Structure 1
Amino acid sequence: MVGAGQASAPHLQSIRDLDTEVTLARVVARSADKLAALHLPAGAVTSTRLEDILEDATIAAVLVLTPPNSHGEIVERIARAGKHVLVEKPLDVSLEKAEQMVAICEQNGVKLAVMLQHRIRDASLALARLIQDGSLGPLLSASASIRWWRPQTYYNEPGRGTLARDGGGVLMTQAIHTLDLMLSLTGMPDRVLAMAGTSPAHRMECEDTVAAVLRYPNGAIGNIDATTAAWPGFPERIALNFAQGSATLEAGELRAELTDGRKIQVGVRQATGSGANPMAFDHAFHRAVLLDFVTAIRSHTEPAITGRSALQVQRLIAAMMESSHRGAAVSIAS
């Protein structure tokens, strides 16, 4: 594992849960103090040198949990050492760098998975099956609402909410999970018109509020409402309308009603880290992504959330920010 910051907690919990499936051999971070503060499984060795992981032939895979602007270099070195990678979202701070990362992993024959765990919630998988088997029919419209709250103290951490470290604000750091899930269900829009800005609630470089309108290739219309300035923070919500019914995903719960009379409810509402505490969520789906990643390595198959599939949400975010900067609608390459 590379990184010992806030993001490491759910990963470490997942590793402890999966102690019969995976062994944590080494943890590397720049800060010896942060390493010392971690509660690690027995046998895990700490170090401040990435080379200690790269040169260890017994290590098959690496979790990369460092800030986004460091992902590219670290993942490239890991891939060239022949080790598989599970990286925290986003892939990198820009679409170009994200595409380079995916290409390098593919060239070196290693698996690249991404921690976009909303896709494998029970409710998300149930809705994906309804869409895939044709029960709902063609998409008519889509809506994603991510109305979260982050206090100014959150953005006072050096680099947080900046282009240089995070690659953006609410879109790249918070809304990316919900947007990735929506795209996995609806496919990519082909055109977007967006406005992004920073509200008076925060002092930060990047956007904390975004509104956008989407158009899909079949003519369906979508909208996105994303902010970290909505006190006290509300569960994220995806609402999809189809020719043969409608479906809503909210905080891990699916509610669907079909024109044939069926009513479907899957999952339970859960905390999502939408308020002042960004870590106020259950680690169960981090564990599911990690288990899927390990299983993919052992079975020589692709993980459920590949780096290539994660490029879609970064393409959408890049198009939204371009639209806002240009003050005009932009096309999204398929």
Structure 2
Amino acid sequence: MERIAIIGTGNISHNHIQAYLQFPERCQIVALVDIYPEKAEEKKQRYGLTNAKIYSNHQDILNDESIDVFDVCTPPYVHAEISINALNAGKHVLCEKPMAASLQECDAMIDAANASGKTLSVIAQNRFTDAFWRLKSVLDCQQIGKVCHAQVDSFWWRGHSYYDLWWRGTWEKEGGGCTLNHAVHHIDAIQWMLGFPTEVVAMTTNVSHDNAEVEDLSAAIFKYDSGALTQLTASVVHHGEDQKIVIQGEKGRISAPWDKYASIAADNGFPVEERNIELENRLEDSYQSVPKLTWTLHTGQIDNFLTALQTHGEPLVDGTQGKRSLELITAIYKSAMTRSIVTLPVQPSDPFYQTGGLVALAPHFYEKSSSVENFSNEAAIPLGKDMDKQG
């Protein structure tokens, strides 16, 4: 039985609490920590967490031997501090995305996990969707041949007031805009599927939120050793919120939401009207042969995390995997800010690797024009369209 402390009880904590409650024989929430204790109390009452004690500071429970896991749901700028403190105190850590505010902090978290022998995992819940799970499985079968191109659309919409919350929309507290805080899941998914690129070039802008320092729209291109390219668009200005990944291979195309297409060339190289139905049928069979996940999204990842703890194994998304996503995001920001092509990996001597380096160099598209401590009501955080339906 793993005893869980939820650190930070804002909106995203709902997803974590609801997930843990699916596994009452494997875990129990015993502490709720928030600098606004009334928010923790509200979660306690809402979810009937009668055995959970409320605290206003994570430091108060570091030495509490009745707690096994720190589940970190705070704003990003304190992820590293809390996670490292917990690991050093002998606690396992599950940390929300983004993993930290810098690559230097990521490495410090990984070092703390290695030194303590405790498990560190970083939230990347989109890996635990049937859409991405099955897409990766089909890709791994190599039926579409060499990958040539991927299109990643991380399209979201947020109203102007979204950035009124005191910590949002600032480089120091949030660490970035839509590239970091919305596209991170799709960036994680594409690097999970295609591997790590060698070069990144990007542009960022803010076109619709004049109460935020950070970008609300970005476009990037990743280049791989094979010559393949990925083009990624991150946005919080797209009405309708549409997310997808399309992977083009030499022999065919596959995508999430699921679809497949295999062209046939005429003698002159132009596509003929008929398609390679034999290959499309094989791709469909491969897709349908992958069993559906028992648990998805945060619940799926928390199931995986609990299993890792109970079997002394490794979670699917460990600290190293969490850092890779942030490294790609860091490269996007560096490219946009320096107007250059960035070569990966980002070296420790690079200012963009170091804590505070990106914040010091980042442009302020606007200054925050208003700020609220908390919104009067908590709307559920949308996790995206159902990518499991057919395209």
Tell me if both proteins adopt one fold, taking TM over 0.5 as the criterion. Answer: yes
* Aligned position for 2:64: 56
Q: CA deviation at 1:74?
A: 0.5
> Is 1:186 equivalent to 2:194 in the alignment?
yes
Asked whether the equivalents of residues 239 and 247 of structure 1 are also in contact (C-alpha less than 8 Å), the reply is yes
* Aligned position for 1:176: 184
In structure 2, do the counterparts of structure 1 residues 130 and 59 end up closer, same or farther at CA, with 3 Å as the change threshold? same
Asked whether the equivalents of residues 178 and 235 of structure 2 are also in contact (C-alpha less than 8 Å), the reply is yes
* Aligned position for 1:82: 90
* Aligned position for 1:4: 9
Q: CA deviation at 1:257?
A: 4.1
* Aligned position for 1:254: 258
* Aligned position for 1:302: 314
Q: CA deviation at 1:137?
A: 2.3
* Aligned position for 1:243: 250
In structure 2, do the counterparts of structure 1 residues 203 and 49 end up closer, same or farther at CA, with 3 Å as the change threshold? closer
Query: 1: CA distance between counterparts of 2:130 and 2:237?
Result: 29
Q: CA deviation at 1:142?
A: 0.9
> Is 1:313 equivalent to 2:325 in the alignment?
yes
Write out aligned runs for 1:95-110 (5 A).
95-110=103-118
In structure 2, do the counterparts of structure 1 residues 210 and 10 end up closer, same or farther at CA, with 3 Å as the change threshold? same
Query: 1: CA distance between counterparts of 2:37 and 2:209?
Result: 35
TM-score under structure 1 normalisation? 0.89
Give the counterpart of 1:117 among 116, 119, 125. Answer: 125
SS at match of 1:155: helix
Asked whether the equivalents of residues 191 and 329 of structure 1 are also in contact (C-alpha less than 8 Å), the reply is yes
Asked whether the equivalents of residues 216 and 235 of structure 2 are also in contact (C-alpha less than 8 Å), the reply is yes
Q: Which amino acid aligns with 1:256?
A: K
Q: CA deviation at 1:219?
A: 0.3
Query: 2: CA distance between counterparts of 1:316 and 1:19?
Result: 37
Q: Which segments of structure 1 move beyond 6 Å, counting only runs of 4 or more?
A: none
* Aligned position for 1:276: none
Query: 1: CA distance between counterparts of 2:176 and 2:117?
Result: 30
Query: 2: CA distance between counterparts of 1:221 and 1:17?
Result: 40
Q: Percent identity?
A: 27
List gaps (5 residues or longer) in structure 1: 268-282
Asked whether the equivalents of residues 84 and 108 of structure 2 are also in contact (C-alpha less than 8 Å), the reply is no
Q: CA deviation at 1:225?
A: 1.2
> Is 1:25 equivalent to 2:30 in the alignment?
yes
Write out aligned runs for 1:70-219 (5 A).
70-219=78-227
Q: CA deviation at 1:284?
A: 4.2
Q: Which amino acid aligns with 2:304?
A: D
Greater C-alpha radius of gyration: 2
Higher deviation after alignment, 91-100 or 67-76: 91-100
List gaps (5 residues or longer) in structure 2: 1-5, 263-275, 290-294, 347-391
Q: CA deviation at 1:64?
A: 0.5
Q: CA deviation at 1:136?
A: 2.7
Q: CA deviation at 1:133?
A: 3.0
Q: How many residues get paired?
A: 315
Q: Which amino acid aligns with 1:19?
A: P
Q: CA deviation at 1:201?
A: 4.2
Q: CA deviation at 1:132?
A: 2.3
Query: 1: CA distance between counterparts of 2:56 and 2:165?
Result: 22
Query: 2: CA distance between counterparts of 1:191 and 1:31?
Result: 43
Higher deviation after alignment, 99-108 or 129-138: 129-138
Asked whether the equivalents of residues 128 and 296 of structure 2 are also in contact (C-alpha less than 8 Å), the reply is no
Q: CA RMSD in A?
A: 1.8
Asked whether the equivalents of residues 170 and 226 of structure 1 are also in contact (C-alpha less than 8 Å), the reply is yes
